[in-house]
A and B are shown apart, each in its own frame.
Chain A
Amino acid sequence: MSVSVRIPTILRTYTGGSADVSGEGATLREVLQKLDADYPGIGARILDESGKLRRFVNVYVGDEDVRFAEGLDTATPSGAQISVIPAVAGGA
């Protein structure tokens, strides 16, 4: 279940500057666990102390905002593009 994860600028200090890294897992939860194993500390930036998605992070699997899907249990099929994006953008 190899997937691609797009890393926002503010987290690229964890990935050595890489904007795209490969990941693995059948669900978003598993992908984030593997991501944290590969890049220690990055998981705590995306998830809060209770393990939930931080309220100002948006995560997309393909085109779908996971908050419209199953959240951390959203399936991440092989080849999926996952994007982690700061929620604080847009509007006025």
Chain B
Amino acid sequence: MALATAAKTTSTDFGPAVALSCRECGTRFDLGPNFACSECFGPLEIAYEFAPVTRESIAAGPANIWRYRSLLPVPANVLDKPNMAPGWTKLVKADRLARELGLRSLHVKDDSGNPTHSFKDRVVAIAVEAARNFGFHTLSCSSTGNLAGAVTAAAARAGLDACVFIPANLEEAKIVMASVFGGQVVGIDGNYDDVSRFCSELIGDEMGEKWGFVNVNLRPYYAEGSKTLAYEIAEQLGWRLPDQIVIPIASGSQLTKIDKGFGELIKLGLVEDKPYKVFGAQAAGCSPVSAAYRAGHDVIQPVKPDTIAKSLAIGNPADGPYVLDIARRTGGAVEDVTDAQVVDAMRLLARTEGIFAETAGGVVVGVLRKLVENGVLDPEAETVVLNTGDGLKTLDAVSDGARPTAVIRPTLDDFRAAVAG
């Protein structure tokens, strides 16, 4: 196909990645800074030719995502370059939360432990390598908050310029976090979908030349970073897939890539081939995917988001149709919870496990609880849930009920009176 012959650059090194392939129509393209199929607009994905890999060769790698570099679109010498080296976050055995919810076995994959306190460091690390490969000088993105900070931090570490775009009404902590690393942080008067649209237009303009938009023209590379969540969960469980997993849905890319990662581990013989169920979690105030799931649709009707879970507030989720496919194929489901349930779940996770999740984590735990209560999730099966960000970035959500229980003078009498009261 003539359209598939974009100029090939011979100096690039993407390790095991060999091509871009359209997820919709299968047309293949040379590896380049492209994200949509010129035949059908479908999303482009990385196609690989993996060399043999063993559990031992992975375990010999560093305690970060680069232990899986032979399964990612990055050069073998990625370890030698300055980058955030994210990943290998804790898989917390959540017995107290499990008991509270009536589950036999539950783990929380706590990705708030990444360098900028969200899972976004994983995807950005891959995008930085792509930006280097393509000779871009500026790293950019549209962000619901966490990504902006991950991009400006990674750009600072790598010595790239940064210019990120966010909805102007984001949580204060996320704006501060994005700004402190330098670079330009541009607030856009609108919601995330407006920001995303703006970036898609900017990329076609000469102002955006030589810019790597991690989640636009570098999206096929960037998105692969979420596979490392699947790899780590399996390895940390002792090279085993969980029976059930609950994943938050914003654009839906993370969920689809975790499913892809599990599939690759099976194909490579690194884990036993067994069924697993994938559950998606949304906030009721931005639930286009769970609405489509409930209605039995395979397309998404976009919505205007209105929820405290701002990191998930994408009203027109690009990978929504694939989330529906995966939930149905694996026997999972997509569910949503109200903002009040999100806050309750944040407090539940905090008081049972000592994990202060951001609102997205509250969405996941809230949906977990709802799925158990509705009998959709099997309480006897091994379950993993994701916390993708840090509660310190969404303090407003819980600050009403999180105050000193007493303020007293430093006397024993005052304290006695306070605890008695």
Bound Cα distance from A60 to B37, whole angstroms:
20
Query: How far apart are B29's CB and chain A's nearest CB, in angstroms?
Result: 10
Query: How far apart are A18's CB and chain B's nearest CB, in angstroms?
Result: 11
Once the chains bind, are B215 and A90 in contact (CB under 8 Å)?
yes
B146 nearest in chain A by CB position: A92
Given contacts A6-B201, A8-B204, A92-B215, contact A45 B316 (CB under 8 A): no
A55 nearest in chain B by CB position: B299
Quick one: which of B36, B223, B225, B321 contacts A86, CB cutoff 8 A?
A: B36
Bound Cα distance from A35 to B193, whole angstroms:
26
Quick one: which of A13, A63, A89 contacts B200, CB cutoff 8 A?
A: A89
Taken residue by residue from 26 to 54, chain B's Cβ proximity to chain A (1 for < 8 Å, 0 otherwise) reads as 00000000111111111110000000000
For B386, list chain A residues within 8 Å (CB). Answer: none
Q: Which residues in window 16-71 of A have CB below 8 A to B?
A: 19, 45-46, 54-58, 60, 63, 65, 67-68
B253 adjacent to chain A (CB < 8 Å): yes
B226 adjacent to chain A (CB < 8 Å): yes
B172 adjacent to chain A (CB < 8 Å): no
Q: Which residues in window 164-210 of B have CB below 8 A to A?
A: 192-197, 199-201, 203-205
Query: How far apart are A11's CB and chain B's nearest CB, in angstroms?
Result: 7
Taken residue by residue from 306 to 329, chain B's Cβ proximity to chain A (1 for < 8 Å, 0 otherwise) reads as 000000001011110100000000
Once the chains bind, are B196 and A89 in contact (CB under 8 Å)?
yes
Given contacts A45-B41, A92-B147, A92-B223, contact A83 B251 (CB under 8 A): no
A1 adjacent to chain B (CB < 8 Å): no
Quick one: which of A55, A68, A85 contacts B201, CB cutoff 8 A?
A: A85
Q: Which residues in window 282-321 of B have CB below 8 A to A?
A: 299, 301-302, 304, 314, 316-319, 321
Number of interface residues of A (CB under 8 A): 30
Once the chains bind, are B199 and A10 in contact (CB under 8 Å)?
no
Bound Cα distance from A67 to B39, whole angstroms:
21
Once the chains bind, are A88 and B43 in contact (CB under 8 Å)?
yes
Once the chains bind, are A83 and B216 in contact (CB under 8 Å)?
no
Bound Cα distance from A63 to B191, whole angstroms:
12
Bound Cα distance from A86 to B44, whole angstroms:
11
Given contacts A56-B42, A65-B316, contact A92 B254 (CB under 8 A): yes
Tally of A-B Cβ pairs under 8 angstroms: 115
Once the chains bind, are B43 and A56 in contact (CB under 8 Å)?
yes
Query: How far apart are A64's CB and chain B's nearest CB, in angstroms?
Result: 11
A78 adjacent to chain B (CB < 8 Å): no
Once the chains bind, are B302 and A88 in contact (CB under 8 Å)?
no
Query: How far apart are A35's CB and chain B's nearest CB, in angstroms?
Result: 15
Once the chains bind, are A85 and B197 in contact (CB under 8 Å)?
yes
Once the chains bind, are B301 and A67 in contact (CB under 8 Å)?
yes
Once the chains bind, are A91 and B318 in contact (CB under 8 Å)?
yes
B203 nearest in chain A by CB position: A9
For B318, list chain A residues within 8 Å (CB). Answer: 56, 87-91
Most buried by B among A55, A65, A88: A88
B120 adjacent to chain A (CB < 8 Å): yes
For B253, list chain A residues within 8 Å (CB). Answer: 91-92
For B251, list chain A residues within 8 Å (CB). Answer: 90-92
Query: How far apart are B201's CB and chain A's nearest CB, in angstroms?
Result: 7
Bound Cα distance from A13 to B6, whole angstroms:
12
Given contacts A19-B205, A92-B253, contact A65 B302 (CB under 8 A): yes
B219 adjacent to chain A (CB < 8 Å): yes
A46 nearest in chain B by CB position: B41
Once the chains bind, are B200 and A86 in contact (CB under 8 Å)?
yes
Query: How far apart are B322's CB and chain A's nearest CB, in angstroms?
Result: 10
For B317, list chain A residues within 8 Å (CB). Answer: 91
Once the chains bind, are B3 and A13 in contact (CB under 8 Å)?
yes
Most buried by B among A7, A8, A86: A86
B378 adjacent to chain A (CB < 8 Å): no
Once the chains bind, are A10 and B34 in contact (CB under 8 Å)?
yes
For A12, list chain B residues within 8 Å (CB). Answer: 204
For A11, list chain B residues within 8 Å (CB). Answer: 38
Given contacts A45-B41, A55-B299, A67-B301, contact A91 B197 (CB under 8 A): no
For A67, list chain B residues within 8 Å (CB). Answer: 301-302, 316
A89-B219, A92-B251 known; 14 new pairs, CB 8 Å cut-off, are A8-B204, A9-B204, A10-B37, A57-B41, A63-B194, A83-B197, A87-B316, A88-B43, A88-B219, A89-B318, A90-B314, A91-B215, A91-B314, A92-B123
**19 contacts across the A-B interface (CB closer than 8 A):** A8-B200, A10-B41, A13-B38, A54-B41, A55-B299, A55-B321, A56-B24, A56-B41, A57-B41, A86-B35, A90-B142, A90-B196, A90-B199, A91-B196, A91-B250, A91-B253, A91-B317, A92-B215, A92-B223
Instruction: List residues of chain A with CB under 8 Å of any chain B CB.
Output: 6-13, 19, 45-46, 54-58, 60, 63, 65, 67-68, 83, 85-92
